[in-house]
Every structure is written in C-alpha cells, then in structure tokens.
Structure 1
Amino acid sequence: MQKLFMTLALLGTIATGSVAQKSKPAVKMSKAVTAAGLKEKLTIVASAEMEGRETATAGQRRAATYIEGIFKQLGLQPGNKDSFQQSFPVYIDTLSASSLLINNTPLVFGEDFAIGLQSVTDTTVSFKEIVLAGYGITDSIYDDYKDLDVKGKLVLIAEGEPKLENGNYLLTGTDKHSRNANQYVKLANARKHGAALVLFYQQAMLKAPQVKSGMYNKARTANNIGANLVTVNAKVLETIVKGFSTDIDEMISTGHSLSTTIATDVKVSLKREAKLLSSTNVIGILPGTDKKEEYVFVTGHYDHLGVRGDKIFYGADDDGSGTVTVLQLAEAFVAAKAKGYAPRRSMVFMTVSGEEKGLWGSEFFSDHPTVNLDSVTVDLNIDMIGRLDPAYKNSDSTKHIYVVGDDKLSSDLTPITDSINKNYVKLTLDRKFNDPKDPNRIYYRSDHYNFARKGVPIIFYFDGIHNDYHQPSDTVDKILFNTMEKRARLVFFTAWDMVNRENMLKRDIPLK
C-alpha cells in the first residue's frame, strides 16, 4: 500500500498544471515503443492474409481476432462488458431481379444496362412503346417535354444537352455544360413529368462491375422513391429498332434534339434486397488507480479497402500504422504498470472498423458508448503516421507530423502538446489542417470526430496524403519505421500526461 501511495505521488507530480513536465519514468517506459515492434505487428496487420481488412469481410474479422488476441495477451480487460469486440450492423444490397427484355431479346446487366442499386425502386412492368424525349431537359428557354405526354410511360433520354450553331451549349452559351446535363437532374425532371421508367443512353456506358452496391450502415426504408433510371448502351438502342443508335449519336454530336414514339415490347424486372452483415470495434481497457472512473482513449481504425478485382489494398499506412501504434502503446503502458507506474486514469485502447465507409464504427461507439463519454478527458486518434507528405518541403520531413484538432474544444490541448513535444521528441508540429477553411476538411475525416461531436477533446495525428493513399501500393515496405517510432512516442508521452495529470482537460471551446 505504501508503494502504491508513493507511485501515485510520483505520477501526480508529472503534469498537474497546464504545461507538462518531463518525467523520467515516462522516458524509461517510452522505450517499449520501438520501430521493431511496430514493424513486427504491421507485417501481420497489412499482410495478404488480411485481404485489405474490408469492413464486414473475412479479412476484417481476421484482423479483429489478431487485435483481440494481443489485448488478451497483455491482460487488458474487455471493453464491451465481457467482450473485447463491439458489433455494429452493416447492410449490403443485391439485385435479386435484374432483367431487361426488349422485343424478346434479353439484355445483360453490367454489359448492356446498369442501375445504381441504392436508388432502385422494386418494379416489374411491361410497356408497348417508348417515348424518346431528347435530352430530357426542361428549362425556361428550352423544353424537351413540350407537347409530349409521358405520364405512366417508358421514357428514353440521352446524355448531353442542346447546342448552338457555334458548338457552345445553348443553356450556358459556353463550352461548359449546364447542371441540366446531370443525369440525376434529368431523372428528377422525368419523374416530375410522370414517367414510369427512364432509360438513359450513354455512348460509353459506365460498367457495373458487380450486381451489389456499396455497403451502408443504417437500415433503409422501403423502396418507394419513384421511377428508376436504367443506363443503357448502343446495343439496347439497336434492339429497340435497327439504326436507332446512329440517330441518337448524331443528335448528341449536333445538339439537335429528337422526340418520337416507337412501338416496342419492353419488359423490366428490378428488385433490391438488403443483406444484414456486421462488423466490430475491438476495445481493451487498462484500469486506472485513483481516477479509474475517468478515461483516456487511444484510437485508430483497422479497416481498409479490401480486395478489388485481383488487387489487394493492403492499407499499411492507412491505417495499419495507427492500428499497430495503438497496440504498441497498450504494450508500453502495461509494461509501465508492471514496473509500478500504473496510470491514474483508465486507458481505453480501441481499434474501429468502417472508417473508410464513413466513420461507421466510431459513430456507432459514440452513439452506444461502453463508458461514460462525459468522463473521457481526451481521444488521441492515430490515422496514418508511417509515411511522408510529398507536399511538405519546409524542413526535415522525417521529423514532421500534422497535429489536427488540438485547437478545438479545449484550450488546454495546444500548450500541453507543444510542451510535451519540446520536452521529449522535438518533432515539427504542423497545424495547417486546423484551418476552418481547409479544403480537404481533414478534421472531419477520421474517427476522432465522433468523439469531438460528443464534446470530447481530441488530437488527431496524421502524416498527410502521399501517392500510395488508397492504392494497392500502400505496403509495409514503404513504411519509415524510425520516423513512425518518433511519432508514436509523441502519442505515448501525450497519453502519459493525460492519464496522470490532476485534472481532466477543460471543455471550454464550442464544437464548430
């Protein structure tokens, strides 16, 4: 007991004020955060076996099992009652019916016609005629639907918009398209005129690589959004009537609209079905001592883009680097506890999935927290810290890191961060992404934001956008592990200060 009180007294002197003081125990225990340890773990997390860790896939589940195994090995407590994993729902669409039959000729989905599955209205319908409505545009100075009755009918419209004799577009007077050329504006216009179904002709039809759409994370209501838009190619036009595609191509090139009604036998069947899947966040807790009901989070996302075609998107930097840093910091703080330097606050080490889909895992956690978010002093989020930003030219980029969000929510964070960096690692801290006018909106694009929107102060550590971002070439061999070690130690020292300082961070700046 006496040893415990001595330890607490020692730790309590580390950072009781607004500026961190250098701690010999922190320096000693930071040596557990090594380039070798980071590389060993990342070689597994970003391996071919993990198949790019796509949300709600076998690769993601293997990665979650690996992370959970490390948390168990370290002796962390489960972060979701008696489980290390917190499941959240994921949905995926499939077309259970996708047929287009014209004049008894079946057309092939993905080759001859395509449809965005997220906008499918279930339908089985037959038509005996098609109304060609030119470009499908209605404007104050131009109207393809003038004198056309399309209510309840199948309408065919083409890409593009009308032109002037000089080749410029009628509606803009320039060589730039108007918004009326957008296919979704055209679809809305066709629905307004009462069309039952819309065929949209593209000369180079965008291919649909699969019959399933992207995933989504919330249950949808029934499909009742109105007429479907089915994109079709020249083969479909030739199936309607021979020579039709040549006429429409000439219309597009000259800008002279055509309208006509063609007797044609058309049968369409479209039905979307949603399949319920799941993904998980992996959460481990290192209990604190005298302030164990308060928390410091260290987070990173372990999902990536998976396999596309024959390419694995390994995601070594994004965000394998953040994932293994979370693991390495957990290892370091457990080792510190074993040496008598137990954290005063509880530490929550959490890796989330679904980040690449839109921060799904962290959103679910923040809406279904396993601890009281009012008692969380900070979230330290790590998303890409293993590479260099080719756009950064100011100094030695191996000693550079973007620090994002430390000027938000708490006036304590910036001086603490600067003091920790000065005392321990001496990196160049770049805050360019704190600019509210940042066109990249980096502050809103990683999992820390779901803590921030609940009022929790955050710091986001980030290395910038490099040429391998979201490419199959984001591989382990390109990670600069010595640079990554320095950045990981900055997070370690920051976490050390946060768990041991006397007071929680102030929440004195409104969320913007």
Structure 2
Amino acid sequence: MKNIVKSIICVLLLSQIGYAQENTFNEDKLLERLEVLSSDKFEGRRTGEKGNDLARAYIINEYKNIGITGFNGSYEHSFDFEIRAGKFNAKNVLAFIKGTEFPKKYIVISAHHDHLGKSGDKIYNGADDDASGVSALLAFAEYLMQNPPKHSVILAAFDAEELGLRGSKYFVDKMKDSDIVVNINMDMISRSAKNELYVVGTRYNKTLEEVVTSFKNPTDTKLLVGHDGTDGKQNWTYTSDHGPFHRSKIPFLYFGNEDHAAYHKPTDEFTDVTPNFYKKAVKIIISLFKDLDLKGL
C-alpha cells in the first residue's frame, strides 16, 4: 500500500513539474531584453543604419545563448527594396525549431525589430513599438526549447515594418510554396493602463475563432477580440506584419494594445511600460500558441 501511495505522489509531483515547465519563460529576462533593445545604444533601430545592425547582433546572440538555430542555416535573411526615401538593404532575423509531428507545416511567430531611428538629438527607442514583441520572441524561444512544438516554428523578427511592412512582404513571398498554417504577430504588447490585450484575426477563420472563444486565460489580463472592422474602432487588419500574411490568405492572430501618447514619439521608453501587464500578455500569447499547436488548422 505504501508503495502505491509513493507512486501516486511521484506521478503528481512529476505532473506538477511538467506543468511548470510547459509555462516557463524567464520573466526577468523578458524585461531585461526589452530594456536593452529600447536603449540609446541601438539609436532607434532604423533600417539600414548602425543601430539596426547592433540590435540584430544582440537578438542573434540571445538566440545562440538560448540554443535555438537559424532558419535554413542562417539567422539573417537579407533583401533590398526601393521607396521614395531611397534604396535600402534590410535583414530579417529568423530562428527555427523543427516540429515533432508536422515538420513541414509552419507556425510563424513574428514581431518587427526596426523602429524610427533618430531625429536630431532625439532617439525614437520604440520600447513598446516593437522591442516588446522582439523580447517576447526570445521568451518564445525559451519556451520552445523546453517544450518542443508539434508544428515547426519560425520566430521571425522582421525588418522595415516602419517602411511599409517590407520584411514581412519579402518573407511571405519567399515562403509562398511552404505550408504556413498560421501567423502569430506581436506589435506593441508591453503597455496598457487598462490591463487589456487585443487580438485580431478571428473573424477571418472559424478555427481561430473557436480556439480564442474556448481559451482558458491563465491571467487576470483581459483578452479582447476587436479592432477588426466589426466594432467601430480603428481596424488593425493590415496595420502590422500580419497584413501580408492575410493578403496571402494565411490565417493570422495579431496581438497588440491600443495606441498611447508615446506612439511613434521619442517618449516610447522602457520606463513607461507596464511590466505586470507585459508579462501576462506574453503568458496569454504563449498559452494560445500551445492551443493552436495542439489543435492545428
């Protein structure tokens, strides 16, 4: 009888350990990386400039420290484009983990690493927009290394979002013959006075709607469906890097918070993010990813 009781206790303890691991990412590192990425060192991370190069190098080094590899043998994927402002060479940063059951089906988790750069002596550090999303990508890397996904996952830190979603457009075009089942995009997820995180994309896909509707929120942060053209608020369907996925008929979920006074201003600084909201937002997004990975599309 004692042996049976001991066995039951061991099973319960192991299940608790497994549950903890399933939901693990380093919350202190999440904030630390956000602070680093939005520091003056990176000079606003403008596409084609030195600060952008330094930011990419930092992101890649963090991936290496976590133990996650680049996509198709490389972290950096270069592309050129020309707009009225001039010619640019830009670089997406892509990390990859192979799926255990569906290695040829991809879930793309994205954020953009670029921002607005400098204007005179003012630096647009873009803490919320979108150092917050990139730091969350690194949290995803930590989670995935502990909890291998069923589908292959590409962690995409896109460049040139601020110049017309150029990085995500290039990526979607290059991957047009691949089976991308869903894009999860994060842009401005670290700052909310209302403790509200919005999700966009469910109106375009029945399975996504079902997953979000049945989602068991592990936090007290409100997850709201909206800003999708159905509620009279600003429609975010094409406002960030999920837009090119949607245009290519790839299902997407975009997570973000409403614009604040520091949006696209030099005052978008680390000191004004709401840390507890940010950590809970990342927990929500990782938990929803887990549901999608289990269910598939």
The TM-score normalised by the length of structure 1 is 0.52
The percent identity for this pair of structures is: 29
Summarize the alignment of residues 491-506 of structure 1 with structure 2, pairs less than 5 Å apart: 491-501=285-295, 504-505=296-297
What is the letter of the counterpart of residue 228 of structure 2? N
Kept in 1: contact 2:129–2:187 (CA 8 A) = yes
Q: Is the 8 A contact 1:33 1:329 kept in 2?
A: no
Is this contact kept in 2: 1:296–1:498, CA < 8 A?
Answer: no
| Worse-matched range after superposition: 429-438 or 442-451 | 429-438
- Shift in Å, 1:25: 4.2
Partner in structure 2 of residue 469 of structure 1? 263
Residue 376 of structure 1 pairs with residue 187 of structure 2: no
- The reply to whether residue 40 of structure 1 matches residue 32 of structure 2 is yes
Q: Which residue of 1 aligns with 2:22?
A: 29
State the Cα distance separating 1:450 from its structure 2 match: 1.0
Asked whether the equivalents of residues 401 and 462 of structure 1 are also in contact (C-alpha less than 8 Å), the reply is yes
Structure 1 segments unaligned to the other structure (5+ residues): 1-22, 93-117, 119-213, 216-275, 337-341, 390-396, 506-512
Aligned residues: 282
Alpha-carbon distance in 2 for matches of 1:434, 1:299: 19
CA apart distance, 1:285 = 0.4
Helix, strand or coil at the partner of 2:109? strand
The CA distance in 2 between the partners of 1:52 and 1:466, in whole Å, is: 18
The yes-or-no answer on 1:62 pairing with 2:54 is: yes
CA 1:67–1:314: 2 relative to 1, 3 Å: same
Provide the rounded CA distance (Å) in 1 between the counterparts of 2:50 and 2:106.
Answer: 32
Q: Does 1:446 align with 2:222?
A: no
Runs of 4+ that moved beyond 4 A: 23-27, 436-439
Name the counterpart of 2:4: none
2:142 maps to: 331
AA matched with 1:286: I
Greater radius of gyration (CA): 1
Matches within 5 A, 1:29-428: 29-34=22-27, 36-79=28-71, 81-91=72-82, 118=84, 214-215=85-86, 276-336=87-147, 342-369=148-175, 372-373=177-178, 375-388=179-192, 397-398=194-195, 400-408=196-204, 410-420=205-215, 422-428=216-222
Task: Tell me how far 1:482 sits from its aligned partner.
Answer: 1.1
* Structure 2 letter corresponding to 1:83: S
Distance 2:139 2:227 in 1: 26
Q: Which residue of 1 aligns with 2:275?
A: 481
- Report how far residue 406 of structure 1 moved: 1.8
SS across alignment from 1:88: strand
Q: Check 1:27–1:417 CA distance in 2 against 1; reply closer, same or farther (3 A cut).
A: farther
Greater helix percent: which structure? 2
> What is the distance in 2 between the residues matched to 1:383 and 1:26?
28
| 24 and 413 in structure 1: CA distance in 2 versus 1, 3 angstrom threshold | farther
**Deviations along 1:430-452, whole A, 9 cap, x unmatched?**
22301257563321110011111
Matches of 2:235 and 2:293, distance apart in 1: 29
TM-score, length of structure 2 as denominator length? 0.88
- Please state whether the residue corresponding to 1:63 is helix, strand or coil: helix
Question: Partners in 2 of 1:499 and 1:56 — Cα distance?
Answer: 35
What residue number does 1:252 align with?
Answer: none
Aligned residue for 1:482, secondary structure, equals: helix
SS where residue 484 of structure 1 aligns? helix
Shift of 1:372: 4.3
1:308 deviation in Å?
0.7
Q: Tell me, what secondary structure is at the counterpart of 2:48?
A: coil
Q: Which amino acid aligns with 2:105?
A: E
Provide Cα deviations, 1:322-370, integer angstroms capped at 9, x if missing partner.
Answer: 110011111121123xxxxx2111111110011111101001111112x
Change (3 A) 1:480 1:24: same
Q: Distance in 2 between matches of 1:320 and 1:473?
A: 14
Report if aligned partners of 2:227, 2:233 keep a CA contact under 8 Å in 1: no
Q: Contact 1:322–1:382 (CA<8 Å) still a contact in 2?
A: yes
Give the aligned residue type for 1:330: A
CA contact (8 A) 2:48 2:89 kept: yes
- Tell me if structure 1 keeps the 8 A contact 2:202–2:209: yes
**Deviation (angstroms), 1:26:** 5.4
Q: Which amino acid aligns with 2:291?
A: D
Cα offsets for 1:37-65 (capped at 9, x unmatched) = 21110111111110000111111111111
SS for the counterpart of 2:191 is: coil
Corresponding letter in the other structure for 2:203: D
Task: Provide Cα deviations, 1:70-98, integer angstroms capped at 9, x if missing partner.
Answer: 2222222321x221111111447xxxxxx
